[in-house]
A and B are shown apart, each in its own frame.
Chain A
């Protein structure tokens, strides 16, 4: 996978993860282009797009679009399932996720993504294992937070 973008129906980028080195300018251009193209597509249309020499796989969940760029020879359907699994993970973690969860806790969304995809490849496809890893890290976080008053105040 080359990159993953999450954006809202209004075209606001919510999450972006780049697995190939690109300059800031290129990233901005690519995301602007893609957001425009995808938002212009009708709901019944194909979830795949040819864009430059990449294949774009996107899917809409409620008000959020999840969009991945893969190489041409990659399997589009499994990419679609990667998106789906990520949504499942978010859902399980946040407990019926919504866009606001991702807006306000975007760093958590990133952590989950990093635990699920590493370097652009699916590293752990078991839902249970991903969440276990995240929870362990969270636990560590809370333990150390309880020991520091500042962190504690931040928590609430």
Chain B
């Protein structure tokens, strides 16, 4: 075939003048398009081309708007041509739609084509096409119906599907099979973009599956493949039918038309094999039905043409996916062998891919083909190499890890594609984590700044957690320190930022392990890094952190002083803070010893992540009339609004004395860390004092990513380290060796074995029969191991109330207690109960003059549901500052007194309930962990419908689902219901609607739909920004879950 093409090409010039073949049109030499194309090929520069096209477009524009439409089709083709060259011809879009609408059949065809090429699914002009499509679907002209169905299955505005759905459905009963087939494909398209829209016609899909025309049946398999992928359990009853169809196809029962290179309906076969694989996975009884036909397929597909290879490949995949049957597996393995050994590179690639797929179940297969695999590793085609590495990744064990990682790194060095690099670096890191070694340095320097940020993090965790033996840990750490020092002494300027961060952390943490190493030397090296021009400020703060850990007084003081002086006036607040920390801690060795414990790995550090120790401070600040904390995104929003000239008075801030003392009275660097973020703005301090849960954010930033967090998190988990590296007994190893030499492909030549290849054969070390299965396990679960654990440990609810303050927090607490602000903390609770409301009341009097105060607000409705039923005092409004309303009431609950202060701010109501526990003598804020407390809004589905249409502000986003399968939607919505108190109005199939409100007349409606593994959420509300705000919190709620 390609020969034919080649031949015609050589005869090109003569072809142009020849009378063309019957099927082809004859316009080429004289038409305007022909002239244009020829004109362009004659041009020499891009500039000339641009000029010509602009001229062309201008002339099209001129003619297109004239009422004479006879030229339209030709004009449109020219416009398409210009667009395809990359020039915009957007003025023709509307004419394309008009042409599809009004033109004769032949013009319509071009019009539809132009529309499908010009516009994409979300283009607004597409709405104009809906009526045209409707009209054509009802046309008696088959060709017009075909055109309409074609365009519908290529692109159609999702929201308009209901308008044409009945007509498309009707076409499923059309006498012509071509129409039925196109209708099925159109429904398939609808299913992909809006599955819920076609839910009710599932039984019609079944009818299409049973259609007497094989083409229609084939088309329906696309839908079934998709549906079975999402829910294999629901279609098990069809297994036998699919098997029967495949049997008939394989047996050659279809009309000859469906043959492709004398293979019966290969597309259909492959589709069926994919469906069977899905149905037979983890299902013995379903698999049993398939064995016979799979065997038949394998037998019939003789190796002679690409198309049979395609079927074989799918067959092998299916056999390895379903419940195993030994003789089939054997045949499939042989097949894979043929692929791998094939001289055709495409087949080799597929063979490797198949091996990668099956090697998890049968690692011996890799062993059989080890020589081929080794050859592929050095293949000139990077794709083959890449696939081989993927295969090796799956068979990595403790014995071959070094060689495999080396090969991967080799590949990384020559690879230029970012996507592959990221993927591969992740894999190397995963291996390094599983089988610790010193490869990480190379990974960091090669992978550079491209790798995902959690890779260095998990490496640091690995280092600090250590392994089984203390001695090994020490060695590894020493090795790291050694190699990093050498690196820094060479040319640190070339190292990526992430790597520099890792280096500075390691040096700060472990350089003391090396006795002969003077801290001054390390400090000087680090200081050199600081001075380098391209060191980012994030890296600089890592370096300063490391310096803080290193300075122990003595000779290094001068270096430290110089650095801290330079950076304490830095523009970057984080750097400034680090510099201050460095300065203070280097001077006060006692304090330093308290803050930075060395070798604290034995005792797990407990973190009070809710920062309950600050509750006193917060309540104080609130009592003094401070405004509650606002999350950054809200602040931003307000800032944006405030950019317009504000004529209103400024809000009440903290008393001056307090804000000043917060900056001047604090000697401790840790407290400075709090105030440095405030940039001296007293109003901001008061914001910070609002809600404990949000406060956490601010502090986390300070002690977070750049600094103490890795250390802390690492220490927390130290007790739980598990080392997945399994060591093999010598006897097993012998096993491996023997089976290794038995394999036919690797028969060691007695004369001169290729040393290099032999060395590479160590790739397969430990890959023998049984033992390897346990060595390999599944590669997936490791990377997230740490994160999951961390969540458990720092669960805010468990640690917020009863927590042993860590050393850092102790320090904070002490300082707090020293200052007069927090001294009242120690006062007994009984006194507090009476005092606090009073204090609040007095504060409120100051704000009483505010004229804007809302008079009629139903405060009761803002009480959390669990409290509103208890007996409670009257709600006393305290103060209103612009739109902020502060009110208090107290409730009695099981002998404990709850004071509740709802803050009502614009669209956000924050409840902070202070809980006084008699037993603990301590005032702690049991802040509800609902940071976005909306109230459930009970509406019926009908009411929901009318409301939905009337709301103007909306937002759409995809959220992650919790759980999978059928229950995912319900589970996810339940989480949202619990965490954000949304009201679930109704759930139908894979769709759900929810509602909530903030204030009486601030409702927000939510529409969720499960689509492609995610939850597509659409929010609507009459209040601007509310949907955005809520989606943010939904996201957080799901993440936290």
**A140-B28 contact, Cβ under 8 Å, with A49-B383, A52-B419, A121-B188:** no
- In the complex, which residues of chain A have a beta carbon less than 8 angstroms from the beta carbon of B155? 21
Is B710 at the interface (CB under 8 A from chain A)?
no
Contact with B along A94-108 (1 / 0, CB 8 A): 111111110111111
How far in angstroms is the closest Cβ of chain A from B298? 16
Does A34 sit at the interface, judged by CB under 8 A?
A: no
Total contacting residues, chain A, CB less than 8 A = 81
B: interface residue count bin: 35 or more
B173 close to A (CB within 8 Å): no
What is the CA–CA distance of A112 and B381 in the complex, to the nearest angstrom? 34
Interface locus among B102-110, B575-583, B690-698, B857-865: B102-110
Check: B84 CB closer than 8 A to any chain A CB.
yes
Which residues in chain B, 181-203, are within 8 Å of chain A measured between CB atoms? 181-182, 185-186, 188-189, 192
Docked-complex contact B113 and A110, CB < 8 angstroms:
yes
- Cα(A125)–Cα(B188), bound, Å: 18
- Docked complex Cα distance between A137 and B178 (Å): 13
Across the interface, do A96 and B8 meet the contact criterion of CB distance under 8 Å? yes
Q: Are A154 and B109 in contact (CB under 8 A)?
A: no
B25 and A105 contacting across the interface, CB-CB below 8 Å: yes
**B151, closest chain A residue (CB):** A114
- Smallest CB-CB separation from B34: which chain A residue? A104
Query: Which A residues, 101 to 135, have Cβ-Cβ distances below 8 Å to chain B?
Result: 101, 103-108, 110-111, 114-115, 118-119, 121-126, 128-129, 133, 135
B283 sits at the interface (CB 8 A): no
Docked CA distance A143–B527 (Å): 84
A141 touching B346 by the CB < 8 A rule? no
Cβ–Cβ contact A85 & B260, under 8 A: yes
The residue from A22, A100, A129, A150 contacting B28, defined by CB atoms under 8 A apart: A100
Taking a contact as CB atoms closer than 8 A, the residue among A49, A81, A105 that contacts B307 in the complex is A81
Please tell me if the beta carbons of A140 and B106 are within 8 angstroms of each other in the complex: yes
Residues of B within 8 A of A98 (CB): 5, 8-9, 12, 15
Asked if A151 meets B185 with Cβ closer than 8 Å, knowing A104-B37, A107-B113, the reply is: no
Please tell me which one of the listed residues B74, B143, B383 contacts residue A136 in the complex, with CB atoms under 8 A apart: B143
Tell me which of B4, B6, B178, B188 contacts A133 (CB under 8 A). B178
For B77, the chain A residues whose CB sits under 8 A away are: 107
- Chain A contacts for B150, CB-based, 8 A: 114-115, 118
- If A21-B120, A62-B9, A104-B28 touch, does A84 touch B222 (CB 8 Å cutoff)? no
B window 17-33: CB within 8 A of A:
20-28, 30-31, 33
- Say whether B703 faces chain A, with CB atoms less than 8 Å apart: no
Q: Is B9's CB under 8 angstroms from A99's CB?
A: yes
A136 to B185, CA, bound (A): 21
* CB–CB B37/A80 < 8 A: no
Residue from the list A49, A64, A137, A150 in contact with B70, Cβ < 8 A: A150
A-B contact count (CB 8 A): 216
- Could you tell me if A119 and B153 are in contact, using CB atoms closer than 8 angstroms? yes
Contact between B120 and A22, CB atoms less than 8 A apart: yes
Q: Is B310 an interface residue (CB 8 A)?
A: yes
Q: Which of B5, B15, B86, B381 has the most CB of A within 10 A?
A: B5
Contact of A129 among B153, B185, B215, B219 (CB under 8 A): B215
Q: Is B350 an interface residue, CB under 8 A from the partner?
A: yes
A6 to chain B, nearest CB (A): 10
Distance of A92 Cα from B266 Cα, bound (Å): 21
Q: Answer yes or no: B267 CB below 8 A from chain A CBs.
A: yes
**CB-CB nearest in chain B for A48:** B349
Considering the complex, give the chain A residue whose CB is closest to the CB of B15: A98
Q: How far, in angstroms, from A15 to B7 measured CA to CA in the complex?
A: 22
A105 touches B5 (CB 8 A): no
Which residue of A91, A95, A96 is within 8 Å of B22 (Cβ)?
A: A95
User: Which B residues form the contact surface with A (CB < 8 A)?
Assistant: 1-2, 4-9, 12, 15-16, 20-28, 30-31, 33-34, 37, 70-71, 73-74, 77, 80-81, 84, 86, 104-106, 109-110, 113, 116-117, 120-122, 143, 146, 150, 153-155, 178, 181-182, 185-186, 188-189, 192, 215, 218-219, 222, 257-258, 260, 265-267, 270, 306-307, 309-310, 313-314, 345-346, 348-350, 380-381, 383-384, 386, 417, 419-420
10 more A-B contacts (CB under 8 A) besides A93-B23, A118-B150, A148-B70?
Answer: A62-B8, A64-B5, A78-B266, A78-B267, A96-B4, A99-B9, A107-B77, A122-B267, A123-B185, A144-B106
List the 3 closest pairs (A to B, CB-CB), nearest first: A95-B21, A77-B310, A150-B70
Binding site for B on A (CB under 8 A): 13, 15-16, 18-19, 21-24, 28, 42, 44-53, 61-64, 75-78, 80-81, 84-85, 87-88, 91-101, 103-108, 110-111, 114-115, 118-119, 121-126, 128-129, 133, 135-138, 140-141, 144-145, 148, 150-151, 154-156
| 25 pairs, CB–CB < 8 Å, chain A vs chain B | A18-B120, A22-B120, A23-B120, A46-B348, A46-B349, A46-B384, A64-B5, A81-B260, A81-B307, A94-B20, A96-B7, A98-B9, A100-B12, A100-B28, A107-B80, A107-B110, A107-B113, A118-B150, A118-B182, A133-B146, A137-B109, A141-B105, A145-B106, A151-B106, A154-B73
